Structure 1
Amino acid sequence: MTVMTRPAPSGRLRIAAGRTPGQLFLALVAVAAMVLLSGIVVAVAAGQRSTLADEVATEDGPAADRALRLYRALSDADATVAAAFLATGVEPPALRTRYDDDIATASAALRRAAADGGGGPQVEVLTAQLPVYTGLVEKARAYQRQQLPLGAAYLREASGLMRDTLLPAAFELSRERRAELGADRSAAGATQEWGLIVLVVTLGLLLFVQRRLFRRTNRVFNRGLVAATLAVLLTGGLLVGGDIAASGDLSASHARGSFPGSVLAQAQVVALQARADEALALVARGSGQEFEKDYNSRMAELVGEDGKSGLLGRAAPVLAAADRSSADGRVLADAARAARDWWEAHRRMRAAEDEGDYAQAVRLAVGTDPGTATEHFTRLDEMLGQLLENAQRRFGREAAGADVPWRFVAVGAMLLALLGAAGAAAGLQQRIGEYR
């Protein structure tokens, strides 16, 4: 009597896999799993890029703008307090208010930078040294009110602390914030390489299964597998389309917003530093050659030796590309004229001081009459501020929708993956059923 033994489970699997129904079932599992996996990979990657794009618009961009505002506020405080020292008698209330506003802006930006994290040693230096700077300024004011020469000495010490310590730290913080913005912008617009690879592998598997199925059944099309193939192709199209749309928005936010903004901010800071040099040269009363040299160097950096190049000249094509209405280009041209007029007023101021007319030199430097350095500098500063605000608005407008394409891709990829897997399962199950 022969005893029948049942094969082990692994043996039964090998037997089943050697038969057509078993092979079709394995193909069903593999195809459905790969279609689902491709959708999950694309959806997860799209979700990550959507988060990064949202951070660019709501966190990185504003953080970079706050760092620029901190840098400008510190530069303006230095220029404002130096100009205030030239006024005879009581310090002009407008200049005092402007200085206080600058310090408040810088302090608020520092608190936010510390709360946001990052910036490490720069934030620590700024937090520790800003009170030292304001303390030196207050001492300088106290001696100035008593008309004691120690006021000018404390002012020079305060300005030295600003230029040697505070401004370099603020510049480094601003550079780091711009680098973070650029890194997240690049990551948010990067092509999903793994998503494309998985989609290509899935498509290859689908084509392989359909070819084998055609050989066994002599049927050209399996509607379920065709539907799954179309779902994978549509997912690829979604991926490419989302990449193009999001990258376009992010590139526009840089080209039309953050890049022009950084160029204009640099120009404004150079102008503010030149204004401080101008005032400090007069405060020194004949011994301010170093400040005078710095002033001319900064003005050459701003408008060039020819008065038409420099930072403002280089900003012209940048704004032409950023502002389609050309309105910003006209404002920039007016700003360049204001800078040239300011430089000319400064030369008249220097001539007056060289001739021994210190009172006239001070009037040309900080007076409010037409044709003074104050009038031209104020016009330049206001126009650069207007251009910066326009650049920031363009950045916000362009970056605001960069996360939407990736959200659409994430949802669409999952829906198509479910439909594709269901179609593949239905198509192969139909073939398996024919063997029962």
Structure 2
Amino acid sequence: MFHRGDTLTGEVHALDEWILVEPEARRAHWRSFLASTPGRLSVLAVVLVAAALAAGVVTATVNDARQRDIDSLRTHAESLADAGQSLYSALSIADAAATTSFIFGGTEPVEVRERYNQAVGDAANALVTAANGIPAADADAAGLLSEVSRRFAEYTSLIATARANDRSGNPVAITYLDNASALMQGTILPLAHRLCTDQWKSVATTQMRTTRLPVAALAVTASALIALVLAHIYLTRKSRRLLHPGLIVAALLMAGLLVWSVAAFGVSASAGARARTDGTQPLSALVTARILAQQARADEMLGVLRRGSDSQSEVDFSRHTTVAAKILGQHRNNSQGSVADAPVTEAVAALDGWRSAHTVLQHRLVNGDYPGAAALAVGPGEGASTARFSALDEALRSALDRLASAERAATITAYRATSPLTVGALVIGVLCGFAVGGGIWPRLNEYH
């Protein structure tokens, strides 16, 4: 007979629980959770919150970069381009005024000398303004300014020497004047033109970049909105509930961000395009026309000083005025209600009158009537070259002022249109994330 005590031993056997649960089943627990409805709703909530935050962050980031470009354009690039064209114009005016003063034989009127001094001062101010506005990394522009400054000092020294000799009645004064004018026309103005052109190109490039719609930001926002709508449809079918307030609020917030972004970026892009087409492009062209007119004036004065013996001055005058007339004609043909239409029309009439007066002046020089030619060149009469040229320069300056004002106004509009969007997009993205949580959390609670 078997006795229970016969089988007792001193060993205690413990049950290993791990052998009752398969390791694979333990590892697949998270998979079974994700396959369940609560798991799917949790993943859906995470994805929607991430999409909402991504829409806000991407929109804010893109807009912030855009705002920095426009602000740089408004406070730096445009002012530097203006300084470049002011420098170019002041140099041309100084050259024309210096040449004009020699026709009076050392006793030039006060207004002529003041015009030269004013032009020299304007050129110096433009050099300082441009130097302060050039970024430290722009070595080319800094080198151009340095060379212009050095050469301009040499030019003013030659003009001072020429004036001193002219007052003393030394014929060598004309030689110094020729050297100074050659330095200005052959070296200084080309350097200034290159600086001016480079800055206008930089402005145009930045404007082109700011007139493009940010497709990436709009696409992310639209995708987030679509995801929210689809999520609401899915949750409606899953829970048998028609409305989910949290998701509806999130969808409305995202739709508001999309509409706001499209409207703001659209207004900004339109204003930027207007600043380029109605401001920068015609402004650059008319700046060139004014500079050509200043150079033609210097050519005319040199021709009178040489008593018509230098055919090159006449060739240069004809070339400069022809190109200026072509630019003004193109502006009139292409303009569609530009703010500069009226002064450009006045400039065209003044240029035609100036060229007619110059033809009479040249006829007098050919006939040996130097006093008559000089009187027509610098005389006070309304039909004289001085009056005609002054009317042309004043009309061009008025046109430039109007175009610059229109460009600045359009750039400010482009900046203000999207100014609140950076912060607004982030706020909407965060609120949308909370709304998503508020919409899905009640459905999750139903499974607890």
Q: CA deviation at 1:319?
A: 4.7
1:16 matched to 2:38? The reply is: no
1:52 matched to 2:69? The reply is: yes
- Residue matched to 1:369: 381
Amino acid at match of 2:187: T
- Residue matched to 2:406: 394
- Residue matched to 2:126: 109
Report the 3-state secondary structure (helix = DSSP H, G, I; strand = E; otherwise coil) of the residue aligned with 1:369.
Answer: coil
In 2, Cα distance between equivalents of 1:367 and 1:52: 50
In 2, Cα distance between equivalents of 1:69 and 1:390: 15
User: Greater shift after overlay, 272-281 or 414-423?
Assistant: 414-423
In 2, Cα distance between equivalents of 1:172 and 1:10: 71
User: Greater shift after overlay, 252-261 or 379-388?
Assistant: 252-261
In 2, Cα distance between equivalents of 1:348 and 1:129: 36
1:128 matched to 2:150? The reply is: yes
In 2, Cα distance between equivalents of 1:89 and 1:159: 18
Contact preservation (8 Å) 1:47, 1:406: no
- Residue matched to 1:332: 344
- Residue matched to 1:188: 210
1:273 matched to 2:287? The reply is: no
1:277-288 alignment runs, 5 A limit: 277-288=299-310
1:419 matched to 2:435? The reply is: no
Contact preservation (8 Å) 2:60, 2:425: yes
> Structure 1 residue aligned with 2:331, among 299, 302, 315?
315
Identity of paired residues, percent?
A: 28
Deviations 1:170-218 (A, max 9, x none): 1111111111211222222321122123224323433443344344323
- Residue matched to 2:178: 156
1:360 matched to 2:372? The reply is: yes
- Residue matched to 1:307: none
Q: 1:173 to 1:254 in 2, by over 3 A?
A: same
Amino acid at match of 2:337: A
Contact preservation (8 Å) 2:308, 2:362: no
Deviations 1:23-74 (A, max 9, x none): 2122212211210111111012112212222222232222222211111111
In 2, Cα distance between equivalents of 1:172 and 1:217: 70
Contact preservation (8 Å) 2:88, 2:196: yes
Contact preservation (8 Å) 1:35, 1:421: yes
TM-score by length of 2: 0.89
Amino acid at match of 2:200: R
Whichever of the two has the greater Rg, that structure is: 2
Deviations 1:314-369 (A, max 9, x none): 2224554322xxxx433322222221121121122112222222111111111112
1:233-248 alignment runs, 5 A limit: 233-248=255-270
1:403 matched to 2:425? The reply is: no
Deviations 1:95-147 (A, max 9, x none): 11111111111122112222222323322221221111111111111211122
User: Greater shift after overlay, 418-427 or 18-27?
Assistant: 18-27
Q: CA deviation at 1:272?
A: 0.8
Q: CA deviation at 1:387?
A: 1.4
In 1, Cα distance between equivalents of 2:443 and 2:312: 90
In 1, Cα distance between equivalents of 2:342 and 2:64: 42
- Residue matched to 2:84: 67
1:231 matched to 2:231? The reply is: no
Q: Which has the higher contact order (CA 8 A, sep 6+)?
A: 1
Amino acid at match of 1:248: S
User: Greater shift after overlay, 56-65 or 199-208?
Assistant: 199-208
> Structure 2 residue aligned with 1:348, among 353, 360, 366?
360
User: Greater shift after overlay, 270-279 or 11-20?
Assistant: 11-20
In 2, Cα distance between equivalents of 1:240 and 1:46: 12
1:16-35 alignment runs, 5 A limit: 16-35=33-52
Contact preservation (8 Å) 2:106, 2:163: no
In 1, Cα distance between equivalents of 2:411 and 2:55: 28
In 1, Cα distance between equivalents of 2:216 and 2:342: 47
Q: CA deviation at 1:81?
A: 0.6
Total equivalences in the alignment: 426
Contact preservation (8 Å) 1:222, 1:427: yes
TM-score by length of 1: 0.91
Report the 3-state secondary structure (helix = DSSP H, G, I; strand = E; otherwise coil) of the residue aligned with 1:407.
Answer: coil
1:301 matched to 2:313? The reply is: no
Q: 1:239 to 1:6 in 2, by over 3 A?
A: farther
Contact preservation (8 Å) 1:260, 1:322: no
In 1, Cα distance between equivalents of 2:375 and 2:252: 78
- Residue matched to 1:179: 201
1:85 matched to 2:85? The reply is: no
Q: CA deviation at 1:224?
A: 1.7
Amino acid at match of 2:387: E
1:100 matched to 2:117? The reply is: yes
- Residue matched to 1:306: none
In 1, Cα distance between equivalents of 2:120 and 2:30: 77
